[in-house]
Amino acid sequence: MTFVLKTFGSLQLVDRGGNVVSFPEKGLLLLAYLLTADQGSADRSTLARFLWGEADKGVALSTLRKVISRINARQAELGVALISLHGNLVSLERSSLSSDLLLPGKEADAEPLLRLEHVVRLMNQPFLGPVNCHSREFQRWLAERESSHIEILVHTLRAASGLARSRKESELLKNAAVILFQTEPKDPETLKMLIPIFQAEEEVELLRNHFEKRHNSILRGIAVRDGSVGNDGRSMHPAAPPKERLEAGLSLEAETTRLEIPRLVLLLPRNQSSRPEAGFLAASLVEDITIGFCAFNSLQVIAPHSVVQIGHHTETQKAFFERQRVNYILDTRISNVGDEVTLFAQLIFFDQNQILWAERFSLDHMELLKDRRAVARQIALSVSSEIERHEALREDLNPVAYHRYLVGRRHLARLTLPNLRRARKEMKAALSVSPDFAPALSSVARTYSKEWLLTARGDIELLKTAENSSRQAIEKRSDFADGYREFGVAKLLQGAFDESAEAMEVAENLAPHYADVIADYADTLVHCSLPAMALKKIERAIELNPLAPDTYFWTAAGANYALGEFEASLDYISQMADPSLADRLSAASCAMLGRQDKARVFVRRFREANPDFDVDKWLSSVPSKEQWHKDLYREGLKKAGF
């Protein structure tokens, strides 16, 4: 009798009649693993690491023996041999078991549309569903399987893309493309393939409306913890998404942006005027415009931090623009026109070095808000008519409040306690003039959460104040990504992992190109003990902000460490401008690789600056959802000599 292992939707064994057969969960995972293993076999140590990790090899091997014993007993009851033992090897009896696993080459000869229908039906369900396995080997295998599924979908969709002849077949192509949006495809050729699929079926507008409805439903689902709601009747806190959606860490709305859409870089202004402070404010203005554009799916914007780095290396700008596939450049400079200091801006079509538009704006701070709108309007009209609604932002903002906000933002660029307090003072001054100014409220929240991190005193009131300020920002503007971002940070530092991840998901949905939001989301996923998902997020943030700040690489290093990729962790740390910030993680990674001499160098350097550091005390204050995650970090730190 042949049994079938179902892996999509939920992990279960069924008989020929489709009836679910009781079987140990670890046994089902073992069967799934062996179906993907070379020759359908693996040694006991490999299977023990896959199921339980490396915390205690003796215990893991002993537990594996018990699981195999239970499997043998169940096989005897069913009258079938699904696995067999050959010394140290555990082997799959393929003649007794089939599965719905998507494997390269499997059914490759099937008619493309029928094959695509089969793949789409499976991938519309979560792979494995909720299973109780958290080892690094399992996570690595799971990531490999999901990556393989996407490759199979891409190849199958490419083969079927020109074959649709009926409405049903066209709908199948669209459904397959939507799944690709959900899974963050990287291949530009794949994205090019998707465009004609939608255009051929005149589905572009329908799809856009679909995503807009999904986006609005998220906003309607925001709930206020204490029962209060915003002035528009919307609640403040995001309704919890399904667990599998949270764990996938992927946003359907955000993935529409991966089509071939223009990339824009707004260069920071060169100051050719007699007033140094003009450059200070103009840089903040251009950065604010940049972040504003991050909210729109019709345009990708290079993140401000990378723009700063580009500005310092003008000789490499052209190569950078080509490498990052930049289409449009907003070049700016500050100069004197009579007694007035102005900002001159020109929009350049990079592919043909063609100036599409140019304008000059006053830098009198009372005119900043108006000029920001004018610059944003002209760029929007030149690049994409779809983002004209950008002008609806901050309609009633007092320009004095906006000026104080820009000044405060500059203080937030370098995180020291004096700078945090200067920034807080400016933001509060802005709020005294314009109490409903959401960006200032979210920035106040950031000053308190960063102060909590810098002081390391565990003052819960700082986090509560940050949480309350971010709540107010959300209440004032329920479509403002930074409000949810700061709410998520405050909740994360309080150990509220699910609430933090939910808020970060909404923030990313609202600003799918805002690299800093995506990076903070990735950091949250690391602390939620979902490192594979975190790594995808931080790689996306680095893609949007290729000359990224150290915190991006630090987050990527932490995600790799949790995945057991210690070499990759060290590689990311080496890309930091100041790698000493991550000396603890460097020491742990080296120790796990057996490089004790190198690990001791990092320990010694860290101890010089932090002589009272205690591993257990520190780990007790670091938010990590799963105990294995803390245990892995403790293991590396202890091996390093802390």
Centre a 10 Å sphere on the Cβ of residue 575 and count the other Cβ atoms it contains.
Answer: 15
Residue 310, pLDDT > 60, answer: yes
Per-residue pLDDT tens over the stretch 184-196: 544 555 555 665 6
Lowest pLDDT segment from 249-258, 264-273, 402-411, 609-618: 249-258
Burial class (CB in 10 A: 0-12, 13-18, 19+), 553: buried
Tell me the one-letter amino acid at 62: S
Q: Which residues pair with 127 in a beta bridge?
A: 8
Q: Both tokens of residue 68?
A: 């195999």
Q: What is the per-residue pLDDT for 358?
A: 62
Look over the chain and give the mean of its residue pLDDT values, rounded to a whole number.
76
Give the CA angle between residues 26, 10, 89 to the nearest 5°.
30
CA–CA separation, 248 vs 261, rounded Å?
25
Query: Which of 79, 74, 68, 9 is CA-nearest to residue 34?
Result: 68
Per-residue pLDDT tens over the stretch 546-578: 777 888 999 999 999 999 999 999 999 999 888
Centre a 10 Å sphere on the Cβ of residue 392 and count the other Cβ atoms it contains.
Answer: 9
Q: What is the per-residue pLDDT for 393?
A: 38
Per-residue pLDDT tens over the stretch 50-95: 998 876 788 888 889 999 999 999 999 988 999 998 888 999 988 8
CA–CA separation, 459 vs 447, rounded Å?
14
Q: What is the per-residue pLDDT for 443?
A: 92
Q: What is the CA radius of gyration of the chain?
A: 27
CB 482 within 8 A of CB 223: no
Q: What percent of the chain has pLDDT over 70?
A: 71
Query: Which of 120, 131, 115, 116 is CA-nearest to residue 12?
Result: 131
CA–CA separation, 638 vs 436, rounded Å?
49
Binning pLDDT at 50, 70 and 90, where does residue 251 land? Answer: very low
Instruction: Tell me the pairing of strands 83-86 and 41-43.
Output: unpaired
What does each C-alpha distance from 381 to 81, 263, 343, 462, 512 come to in angstroms? 67, 15, 20, 43, 20
Centre a 10 Å sphere on the Cβ of residue 89 and count the other Cβ atoms it contains.
Answer: 14
Q: Higher pLDDT residue, 314 or 27?
A: 27
Q: What is the per-residue pLDDT for 211?
A: 39
Q: Which residues pair with 91 in a beta bridge?
A: 41, 84
Residue 172, pLDDT > 80, answer: yes
For 172-187, the DSSP string reads HHHHHHHHHHHT----
Per-residue pLDDT tens over the stretch 102-127: 888 776 667 889 999 999 888 878 88
pTM of the entire predicted model: 0.51
Query: Which of 489, 494, 482, 416 is CA-nearest to residue 451?
Result: 416
Mean pLDDT on 355-366: 64
Return the exposure string of 463-476: e unless at least 16 CB atoms fall within 10 Å of the residue's CB, then b.
bebbbbbbbbbbbb
Tell me the one-letter amino acid at 566: F
Q: What is the per-residue pLDDT for 243?
A: 36
Return the exposure string of 111-144: e unless at least 16 CB atoms fall within 10 Å of the residue's CB, then b.
ebbebbbebbebbeebbbeebebebbbbbbbbbe
Helix (H, G, I), strand (E, B) or coil at 171: helix
CA–CA separation, 492 vs 511, rounded Å?
20
Per-residue pLDDT tens over the stretch 437-483: 888 999 999 999 988 877 756 678 999 999 999 999 998 888 788 89
Residue 222, pLDDT > 60, answer: no
Tell me the one-letter amino acid at 37: A
Q: What is the per-residue pLDDT for 194?
A: 61
Residue 160, pLDDT > 80, answer: yes
Residue 327, pLDDT > 90, answer: no
For 63-121, the DSSP string reads HHHHHHHHHHHHHHHHT--SEEEETTEEEE-GGGEEE----TTTTTTS-HHHHHHHHHH
CA–CA separation, 588 vs 595, rounded Å?
10
